[in-house]
Copies of this chain bind each other. A is one copy, B any other.
C-alpha cells in the first residue's frame, strides 16, 4: 500500500510524522542610496545551532497565533521593524530532509519592501541584534545561518525580475514622492541608470501614481511635483510581449 494513503485509511492524522514549519523574510529597503536587507543576529546559546550567526528574520509557525502563513510573516516582520503594512509577497517554499541540522523542515520564504523611515528596529524575541546590510552584487557579504544565503538569493532574484516590469520600487518610498525619487529607487534596485524621458512616459502611461494638486517639493532649483500611489494595495504590471491582439481574435 502506498505510504501516502495512510491518512485516507483512517490512520489518525496525529500519527503522521510532520516536518518543522518555519517562515523567513527578506525585508528590503533603500537606505543611503543602497538596497539593504534586514538581518538578525542569533543569540549566544550553547544549545542552539548557528549561534551568533546573522540570519533572515523568521522562525516557527505558531498555529495558535497565526491564522495563515501571511499573518505569520507579518507578525515576524512587525516584531523586528514595528511596521504593519509593507508590501509582502511569498517567494516559495523550500523543504528537505537535510536543509536544517536536525530535522525534515520546510521554510516559507517571503520578501517585503518598505520605506526605512517607517522602521523602528527592535531586537526583542530571539534576536541579539538587528541591522540593515547592503546588497553588493546582489548578495550580502556575510555567511548566514542555515541555508539563508540561498534563501536570500532567491528573494533577491525574484525582486530583480519583478522590478523590470512592475511598480514594486514604489513601495520603497514614503507616501509622497516625486518622479525623480521614483526613478532613483528603480536605478538603485536595478543597479543601472534609466533614461528620464522614457521612464516618465512609462510610469505616467499607467495610472500607478497621481499628482497631489498644487503640492511640489521645494528646492534650490525647479521644484518637483509630488505624487502618491493611486492604489497602494495593487501592484502595477507594465505591458510585455506576445501583445494582445484584438484584430486577430476576431478572425
Contacts and interface: CB of A to CB of B under 8 A. Distances in A.
Q: Give the number of times this chain occurs in the complex, counting copies.
A: 2
Given A68-B97, A95-B69, A249-B193, A20 B13 contact: yes
A201 to B, nearest CB: 12
A235 to B, nearest CB: 13
A84 to B, nearest CB: 16
Interface of A: prevailing SS: loop
12 contacts: A1-B125, A3-B62, A4-B75, A5-B59, A7-B60, A8-B43, A10-B45, A67-B97, A69-B106, A192-B244, A192-B248, A202-B242
Interface residues of A, number: 71
Interface in A5-20: 5-10, 13, 16-20
Given A104-B63, A245-B192, A4 B126 contact: yes
Given A92-B90, A240-B165, A249-B192, A8 B126 contact: yes
A190 interface: yes
Contacts of A126: 2, 4-5, 8
Contacts of A66: 97
A39 interface: no
A94 B69 contact: yes
